[in-house]
Chains A and B, each alone.
Chain A
């Protein structure tokens, strides 16, 4: 009675759909003609698809660019905000704002900031005598531009998680370290970093998963015309399924992504969880 409705809904809309999705990925299906079973044909096509490799590379590059930056910045900010200074609640509230903002609104504002003619980014660089840059118009800057938007958007949420982790560390450990004459730097590496590792691990794993699914940021920042270098894996899957109506192929693409994420998460758990300290001291 308690479980029934919730479970039923989850089964129909997630688990059932996964099974259907696996079936669809073995079909050639364009919506018009009836689906035709082609076995692993779609998967063979993926391996030979140049766009598959390109979008996978784009996405991997985006993850490598945004996740470490986001982790370092949000940890640094959490360390700075973990004080009893007056007004610190205001700052923490302010940092949370990007998380609750809609990605579409935010991307529109970032488009203004990145604008090559009048954007604030170029005005700012102009003070240092740097020539205007067409941020979203060329691959070398468009990718960092999207990554910056993603980092900005995730900063507050990750910082809040880090802050909760920091506040769970007992203060007597720091007092003891101070007595022993350990400086701030030593205290960080010997106390904070190891005791914070469960949080760091969690934030890291969820950020990687979230960044692989990047869609809204690239879509909205490009204003519909997504250039090749911003065609991320999710964008490509969406294009195949909902623009080319190549549903079987898109389903197969989704399965390949699922497998890749599964392997990455598994490796993260195996390699990193050994270094995570779940106990105190």
Chain B
């Protein structure tokens, strides 16, 4: 496509054909890239704009962007819409999941990548199984398990399955991601520490763990996104209102008050802000996580 446009540009332009062709291609590329950026970001812009809009203006023209200034929506959603309480429930669920997934996967991944022990093959197979089994296959017995443990309706009813990977990124995927990191780390540093008399755990904690920081960052962020947004887990195992997180809270709110667009958008915005902030901060860590390859050589 880029070529076709470049050719027609070079026929009409006076400049040397090569440069004109390149300029035409560049413009076309920007048009394509910009078009898709508009499509991907538009819902976010619409949510921000609607959240700040006067209810009257919304009924007049729902899609006019930033036509009024009415931040009261956000205050109302936080208080009256209970999004404040949904927000803290989500924090209470997400933070333990991230900590548990990262801590447990890092340990297991390190052992699988770096240590030799009997039954290693079996352990690897069990984690692989955990990776392949879809959530559908376990969602029903999990309900009974959680009920029998007396956890149904508590935040642990979401935390425990999420740590196991039911929301997407759990221990099995974490183990695979981190294992790749530990396999790639140079052995010399660990050997040097061992010669200096460090225990296996010290080698891991003092030497290998800091080296894998970019991987830990990427894993934490991915687990955070998945857990923050998970909908099916609280839908199934958190039926009450007491510990309701943002995902089911927003859903119920939107289903109940279909006309309060401003408040619904404000709720969606409250849910999106932490994710956006962490994503923008982690952007660099993402890049670092990829460029660690440079350390290898």
Please list the residues of chain A having a beta carbon within 8 angstroms of any beta carbon in chain B.
1-3, 5-7, 9-15, 17-18, 20-21, 24, 77, 80-81, 83, 85, 88, 90-91, 93-106, 108-110, 112, 118, 120, 123, 152, 155-156, 164, 183-185, 209, 213, 215-216, 219-220, 223-224, 234, 237-238, 241-242, 247, 250-251, 254-255, 257-258, 261
Can you report 18 A-B residue pairs in the complex whose CB atoms are below 8 A from each other?
A: A2-B107, A6-B175, A10-B164, A13-B160, A14-B130, A17-B145, A80-B29, A81-B33, A85-B30, A91-B37, A94-B41, A97-B40, A102-B228, A102-B272, A213-B135, A251-B141, A254-B137, A258-B137
**CB-nearest residue of chain B to A212:** B134
A213 to B261, CA, bound (A): 30
The listed residue (B117, B225, B264, B290) touching A164 by CB distance below 8 A is: B290
The 10 closest A-B pairs by CB, nearest first: A13-B164, A2-B111, A6-B104, A20-B141, A17-B138, A105-B268, A6-B108, A102-B229, A94-B37, A109-B43
**CB-nearest residue of chain B to A90:** B37
Instruction: Given the known inter-chain contacts A152-B39, A242-B236, please indicate yes or no for A102 contacting B136, CB distance below 8 A.
Output: no
A residues within 8 A CB of B225?
Answer: 99-100
A17 to B166, CA, bound (A): 12
**CB-nearest residue of chain A to B276:** A100
Instruction: Given the known inter-chain contacts A102-B271, A104-B231, please indicate yes or no for A213 contacting B141, CB distance below 8 A.
Output: no
Docked-complex contact A105 and B250, CB < 8 angstroms: yes
Q: Chain B nearest CB: distance from A54 CB in Å?
A: 18
A6 to B166, CA, bound (A): 14
The listed residue (A9, A18, A102) touching B138 by CB distance below 8 A is: A18
A18 to B129, CA, bound (A): 10
B residues within 8 A CB of A238?
Answer: 139, 236
Q: Does B254 make an interface contact (CB < 8 A)?
A: yes
The listed residue (A24, A80, A164, A216) touching B33 by CB distance below 8 A is: A80
B residues within 8 A CB of A6?
Answer: 104-105, 107-108, 171, 175
B residues within 8 A CB of A13?
Answer: 138, 142, 145, 160-161, 163-164, 166
Q: Chain B nearest CB: distance from A137 CB in Å?
A: 15
A13 to B123, CA, bound (A): 15
B residues within 8 A CB of A110?
Answer: 43
Docked-complex contact B251 and A2, CB < 8 angstroms: no
Q: Chain B nearest CB: distance from A26 CB in Å?
A: 13
**CB-nearest residue of chain A to B267:** A105
Docked-complex contact A104 and B250, CB < 8 angstroms: yes
A residues within 8 A CB of B134?
Answer: 209, 213, 254, 257-258, 261
Please list the residues of chain B having a beta carbon within 8 angstroms of any beta carbon in chain A.
2-3, 26, 29-30, 32-34, 36-37, 39-41, 43-44, 46-47, 62-63, 104-105, 107-108, 110-112, 115, 117, 123, 126-127, 129-130, 133-145, 160-161, 163-166, 171-172, 175, 201, 204, 225, 228-229, 231-232, 236, 246-247, 250-251, 254-255, 258, 261, 264, 268, 271-272, 275-276, 279, 283, 290
Instruction: Given the known inter-chain contacts A110-B43, A155-B40, A220-B231, please indicate yes or no for A255 contacting B137, CB distance below 8 A.
Output: yes
A83 to B29, CA, bound (A): 9
A83 to B2, CA, bound (A): 13
A257 to B40, CA, bound (A): 32
**CB-nearest residue of chain B to A249:** B140
A residues within 8 A CB of B164?
Answer: 9-10, 12-14
A118 to B60, CA, bound (A): 10
A77 to B161, CA, bound (A): 35
Interface of B is mostly: helix
A residues within 8 A CB of B144?
Answer: 20
A64 to B47, CA, bound (A): 31
A252 to B164, CA, bound (A): 22
**CB-nearest residue of chain B to A224:** B255
Docked-complex contact B142 and A120, CB < 8 angstroms: no
**CB-nearest residue of chain B to A95:** B40
For the complex with contacts A13-B164, A15-B129, A97-B279, 14 further pairs of A-B residues with Cβ separation under 8 Å are A5-B104, A10-B130, A13-B142, A17-B137, A77-B36, A80-B36, A81-B33, A102-B228, A109-B268, A152-B40, A216-B231, A257-B137, A258-B134, A258-B136
B residues within 8 A CB of A106?
Answer: 43
Q: Chain B nearest CB: distance from A84 CB in Å?
A: 11
The listed residue (B112, B163, B255) touching A9 by CB distance below 8 A is: B163
**CB-nearest residue of chain A to B204:** A2
A156 to B141, CA, bound (A): 34
Instruction: Given the known inter-chain contacts A21-B140, A257-B134, please indicate yes or no for A97 contacting B110, CB distance below 8 A.
Output: no
A residues within 8 A CB of B46?
Answer: 109, 112
Docked-complex contact B2 and A184, CB < 8 angstroms: yes
B residues within 8 A CB of A185?
Answer: 3
Docked-complex contact B133 and A241, CB < 8 angstroms: no
B residues within 8 A CB of A155?
Answer: 36, 40
Docked-complex contact A18 and B137, CB < 8 angstroms: yes
Q: Chain A nearest CB: distance from B240 CB in Å?
A: 15
A237 to B138, CA, bound (A): 12
Docked-complex contact A7 and B127, CB < 8 angstroms: yes
Q: Chain A nearest CB: distance from B3 CB in Å?
A: 6
Instruction: Given the known inter-chain contacts A21-B138, A24-B141, A80-B33, please indicate yes or no for A102 contacting B250, CB distance below 8 A.
Output: yes
